[in-house]
């Protein structure tokens, strides 16, 4: 779904923007909170005389500190009739602060047609968010505002106020409308990648079968200048993708494997992204409880994140060659479903004993990882999946679990997550636990076979996946916790979050 909110710069002051919500930014200064004037003319002359009290007194009255996302509202006539005026905290002007402030503004402005804010939001070095940091601060403001305005609804009469139609950046009288354009474009591209992932995740599974998801990936590829290749069930059978086929064999809607290629001229490195694409997960014959199953339309979040990230690579000018692999299947219950105790053969020829049919995500990704190693020769592999409840137990719903075989790769992803406001925490690939994924009748088992270590589920899953990475630098993002939101807050709306799409893009850019 397209963003309901548009962000763009305009000439003149916030009072001249025709907005029904005028914003004054408040910074957390060294000597206390202080209003941000923005570029010359962005705030109207004689503003204090038009307000219920001088700005400094209003800031003190509402006990504002300038903390990012802090707000206070009152009515005033700025020269064109009575409007709502908001004081908006922007913290110290860092990218993280402005992302939070943008989200707070979008939530505050719901139900209004237009909000106006001075374009000269503070950035590091006092550059207005558009200079020395490459526009990262202002881009983050746009990113936060758009993500918080995201809405997905199939209701005939959606409840609640509509997102604000426009957020305009008042550039004053200095003719500086062009300066923020690039930063806003970048923020929009990053937010758009996450929003695309959210749309795919939030689509009900009655519509979202493997063929549908493959079709959406192909459409995105056509728009984003990517090459798309799709394997149907006959192709998968002929080429030996036994794990994807086994997971999908219980469904009347057969599995798919999708490859998306981005190959910019002069690329000197090649990264493969692998996304888990289980379009609905009943647990198979190892059936999930009903309450757990309600969320399982989101179990293809990893594939959605990869599609979202791939969609924005060209827009952001990424110079890395990137291949996305989407392992897509529906894990259903039927007479043809795989059984606990079955043994399957992966693309790379290894055998896996299936001891729990609800540990299916690692199976479909094993085939994709095998293919990447055998056919693509990448410099690094990164996979994304809503893989284990254990990761959610360990880290909660705000932080993703990161497992990696390469310290430099792990460090780069941790830094990109921090810059994106998508925190990751590196978890151990404990070698002592490795034998637990062995099987007495096959090369591997898809769940831990020993209780000696208390069944560390997230680590067992990561150790299983590592077996298919061919010794390449590899990272595994288990986003089972932050991949879904149960409430509306900050950047998030209820449902799929698209967590890690923006992290992957910032990492790939770097």
Looking up residue 261, the CATH number of its domain turns out to be 3.40.630.10
Same domain assignment for residues 88 and 226: no
What beta strand segments (E) does 303-395 contain? 321-331, 343-345, 351-353, 380-385
* pLDDT the model gives residue 130: 46
Same domain assignment for residues 439 and 466: yes
Residue 17 C-beta-side C-alpha neighbours within 13 Å = 35
How is residue 311 written in tokens? 């969609």
Residue 185 domain flag? no
Catalytic residues: 288, 362
Residue 123's nearest CA partner among 107, 145, 141, 146 is: 141
Integer CA distances (angstroms), 41 to 93, 116, 386, in order: 20, 13, 49
Same domain assignment for residues 172 and 202: no
pTM here?
A: 0.96
When divided into structural domains, the chain yields a total of 2
Written as tens digits, the pLDDT of the chain (510 aa) is: 578 899 999 989 999 999 999 999 999 988 899 999 888 899 999 999 999 999 999 999 999 999 999 999 999 999 888 999 999 999 999 999 999 999 999 999 999 999 999 987 876 544 454 444 447 889 999 999 999 999 998 888 888 899 999 999 998 886 655 568 899 999 999 999 999 999 999 999 999 999 999 999 999 999 999 999 999 999 999 999 999 999 999 999 999 999 999 999 999 999 999 999 999 999 999 999 999 999 999 999 999 999 999 999 999 999 999 999 999 999 999 999 999 999 999 999 999 999 999 999 999 999 999 999 999 999 999 999 999 999 999 999 999 999 999 999 999 999 999 999 999 999 999 999 999 999 999 999 999 998 777 778 999 999 999 999 999 999 999 999 999 999 888 899 889 999 999 999 999 998
* pLDDT the model gives residue 39: 87
Same domain assignment for residues 226 and 130: no
Cα separation, 475 vs 460, whole angstroms? 14
Domain boundary (153, 179, 205) is at: 179
Cα separation, 331 vs 283, whole angstroms? 6
* pLDDT the model gives residue 132: 42
Cα separation, 87 vs 71, whole angstroms? 5
Range of the domain at 123: 6-179
Residue 268 domain flag? yes
Same domain assignment for residues 113 and 247: no
Cα separation, 298 vs 458, whole angstroms? 18
Element (H, E) at 258: strand 256-262
Same domain assignment for residues 195 and 173: no
Domain boundary (179, 206, 226) is at: 179
Same domain assignment for residues 11 and 116: yes
Same domain assignment for residues 261 and 214: yes
DSSP of 267-320: ---EEEEEEEEEEEE--TTSPPPHHHHTTGGGTTHHHHHHHHHHHTTTTTT--S
Burial of 461 (0-12, 13-18, 19+ CB in 10 A): buried
Residue 49's domain is classified under what CATH number?
3.40.220.10
Residue 366 domain flag? yes
Same domain assignment for residues 158 and 247: no
Contacts of the segment 128-133: beta carbons below 8 A, 24+ positions apart? 128/38, 128/39, 128/179, 129/93, 129/98, 129/180, 129/183, 130/179, 130/180, 130/182, 130/183, 133/95
Domain boundary (160, 179, 198) is at: 179
Residues constituting the chain: 510
432: number of Cβ within 10 Å: 9
How is residue 29 written in tokens? 């200064």
Residue 142 domain flag? yes
- How does DSSP classify residue 163? P
Cα separation, 85 vs 115, whole angstroms? 10
Place of tokens 């309600």: 294
Same domain assignment for residues 368 and 495: yes
Residue 25's nearest CA partner among 123, 130, 164 is: 123
Same domain assignment for residues 132 and 199: no
Residue 32 domain flag? yes
Same domain assignment for residues 134 and 54: yes
Cβ atoms 119, 171 nearer than 8 A: yes
Integer CA distances (angstroms), 91 to 27, 88, 168, 421, 504, in order: 5, 9, 20, 15, 26
Question: Helix 301-311 and helix 181-202: axis angle, to 10°?
Answer: 150
Integer CA distances (angstroms), 507 to 170, 417, 420, 510, in order: 32, 8, 10, 5
Residue 64 domain flag? yes
| Angle, CA of 125, 126 and 130, to the nearest 5° | 90
Residue 1 domain flag? no
Residue 69 domain flag? yes
Integer CA distances (angstroms), 125 to 8, 32, 301, in order: 23, 18, 38
- In degrees and rounded to multiples of 5, residue 477 shows phi and psi of -105, 110
């Amino acid at each position: 779904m397209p963003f309901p909110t548009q962000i763009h710069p305009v000439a003149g002051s916030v009072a001249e923007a025709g907005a029904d919500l005028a914003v004054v930014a408040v910074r957390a200064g060294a000597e206390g909170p202080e209003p941000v004037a923005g570029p010359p003319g962005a705030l109207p002359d004689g503003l204090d005389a038009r307000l219920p009290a001088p700005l400094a007194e209003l800031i003190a009255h509402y006990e504002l500190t300038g903390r990012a996302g802090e707000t206070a509202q009152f009515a005033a006539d700025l020269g064109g009739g009575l409007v709502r005026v908001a004081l908006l905290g922007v913290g110290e002007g860092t990218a993280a602060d402005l992302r939070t402030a943008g989200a707070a503004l979008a939530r505050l402005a719901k139900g209004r047609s237009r909000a106006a804010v001075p374009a000269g939001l503070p950035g590091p070095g006092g550059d207005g968010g558009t200079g020395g940091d490459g526009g990262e601060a202002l881009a983050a403001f746009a990113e936060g505002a758009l993500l918080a305005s995201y809405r997905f609804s199939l209701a005939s009469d959606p409840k609640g106020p509509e997102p604000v139609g426009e957020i305009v950046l008042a550039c004053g009288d200095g003719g500086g409308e062009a300066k923020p354009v690039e930063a806003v474009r970048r923020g929009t591209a990053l937010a758009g990648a996450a929003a695309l992932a959210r749309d795919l995740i939030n689509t009900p599974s009655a519509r979202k079968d493997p063929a549908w998801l493959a079709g959406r990936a192909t459409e995105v590829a056509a728009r984003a200048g990517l090459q798309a290749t799709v394997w149907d069930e006959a192709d998968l059978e002929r080429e030996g993708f036994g794990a994807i086929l086994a997971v999908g064999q219980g469904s009347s809607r057969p599995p798919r494997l999708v490859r998306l290629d981005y190959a910019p001229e002069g690329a000197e490195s090649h990264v493969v992204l692998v996304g888990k694409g289980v379009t609905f997960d009943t647990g198979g014959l190892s059936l999930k409880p009903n309450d757990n199953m309600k969320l399982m339309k989101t179990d293809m979040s990893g594939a959605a994140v990869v599609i979202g990230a791939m969609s924005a690579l060209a827009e952001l000018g990424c110079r890395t060659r990137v291949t996305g692999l989407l392992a897509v299947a529906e894990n259903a219950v039927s007479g043809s479903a795989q059984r606990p105790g079955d043994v399957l053969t992966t693309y790379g020829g290894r055998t896996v004993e299936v001891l729990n049919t609800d540990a299916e995500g690692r199976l479909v990704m094993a085939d994709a990882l095998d293919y990447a190693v055998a056919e693509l020769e990448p410099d690094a592999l990164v996979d994304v999946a809503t893989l284990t409840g254990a990761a959610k137990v360990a880290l909660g719903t705000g932080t993703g679990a990161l497992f990696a075989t390469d310290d430099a790769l792990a460090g780069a992803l941790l830094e990109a997550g921090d810059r994106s406001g998508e925190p990751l925490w590196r978890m151990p690939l404990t070698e002592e636990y490795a034998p637990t994924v062995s099987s007495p009748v096959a090369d591997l088992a898809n769940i831990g076979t020993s209780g000696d270590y208390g069944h560390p589920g997230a680590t067992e899953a990561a150790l299983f996946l590592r077996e298919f990475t061919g010794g390449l630098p590899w990272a595994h993002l288990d986003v089972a916790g932050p991949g879904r939101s149960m409430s509306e807050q900050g950047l998030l709306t209820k449902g799929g979050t698209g967590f890690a799409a923006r992290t992957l893009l910032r990492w790939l850019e770097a």
